[in-house]
Amino acid sequence: MLSKQITKNHIFLNPKLEDKMELFKLLSKKAEEMNLIDSSKKMIEGIEKQEETGVMELKPHIVLPHARGGFVNELFVFAAISKKGLKYKGAQKNKANVSFFIGVPPGNKTYLQLLASLSRFVKNEELLENIVNADIKEDIFHQFKKFDTLHMQEERKKQKEKKYFVLLSINIDIDDDTISSFFAEIGVEQTISIDGRNLDVESSFFSIIPSIGFSTQKEEYSYIYMGITSNENAANKLYGLLKSKDIDLSENKMGTLVQLELFDSYGGYGKDIF
């Protein structure tokens, strides 16, 4: 994805600039010339407004000046690389070696994938060092292509991994933080909880024959937790973790725990980052 978004004409190597405002002006003007935005002025204003709450840094000296609005025609990202470091007020030690300059149109969600890719890229110390120390744009572009190749290999490997759906229905009160930590331990990243009512067979039967005069039992409620994991032994491990808290699912009416293999699974993005 990065090599498609950050082409050679989106790379600015060691620009002779004094500070971040000059960087904003240069890159906004370039974006306007390329018809990526309608107004360089609005782009700069948008970035300044975003940075009023703080500069977004993926890691020290790696910044993401960005703006979102109707003045952006399509999602784009520029990469400005400065080996000695550009004066960037608000960044760590007020210095930026890499600036990913991003414009996001309203309603666009693809930028979440872009940010995820950038985040993974800067975690690769070798690739990051290579772009900071590069002497020509071609070398920088090659690092983004190399990253995309590595990422594709990782994705193919993930696709071969089996996924499992885990569902826990428990009939006693338990602290949500405890359940969340248990699900995290078995490899579930996003746990969903639901409060539900037990449909007791006996009480349902008597409810349709009220003339008999039997009183039905009080309705019981279950707490349902579910999520997806690649751990094939997740349910077994969760069963043991619950037992360590004196919750034995083998006891009558305590609850139910199931694990099912998934053949299709989509989605997983969290909330908007900006």
User: What does the pLDDT look like over 26-49, one tens digit per residue?
Assistant: 999 999 999 999 999 999 999 999
Q: Which residue has better confidence, 150 or 161?
A: 150
* Highest-pLDDT range among 99-108, 168-177, 255-264: 99-108
Fold match, 2-157 / 163-262: no
* Contact criterion met (CB below 8 Å) for 59 and 121: no
Q: Give the Cα separation of 165 and 234 in Å (integer).
A: 9
Domain-wise residue ranges, the chain: 2-157, 163-262
Beta bridge partners of 197: 221
pLDDT > 90 in the chain, percent: 58
* Highest-pLDDT range among 64-78, 231-245, 251-265: 64-78
Hey, how many other C-beta atoms are within 10 angstroms of the C-beta on 95?
16
Task: Say which CATH topology domain 2-157 has.
Answer: Mannitol-specific EII; Chain A (3.40.930)
Query: Which tokens go with 147?
Result: 């990253």
Q: What angle do CA 231, 241, 259 make, to 5 degrees?
A: 40
What CATH number does domain 163-262 carry, 3.40.50.300, 1.10.30.50, 3.30.70.120, 3.40.1160.10? Answer: 3.30.70.120
What is the band of 159 on the pLDDT scale with cuts at 50, 70, 90? low
* Contact criterion met (CB below 8 Å) for 88 and 19: yes
> What confidence score (pLDDT) does residue 163 get?
85
- The answer, yes or no, to whether residue 202 has pLDDT greater than 80, is no
Amino acid at 239: Y
- The answer, yes or no, to whether residue 190 has pLDDT greater than 90, is no
> What confidence score (pLDDT) does residue 263 get?
78
> What confidence score (pLDDT) does residue 220 get?
64
Q: Look over the chain and give the mean of its residue pLDDT values, rounded to a whole number.
A: 86
> What confidence score (pLDDT) does residue 179 get?
87
First to last CA, the chain: 20
Mean pLDDT value of segment 216-223: 61
> What confidence score (pLDDT) does residue 10 get?
97
Residue 240 CA: distances (Å) to CA of 105, 116, 204, 235, 236: 48, 34, 33, 9, 7
What is the band of 172 on the pLDDT scale with cuts at 50, 70, 90? confident
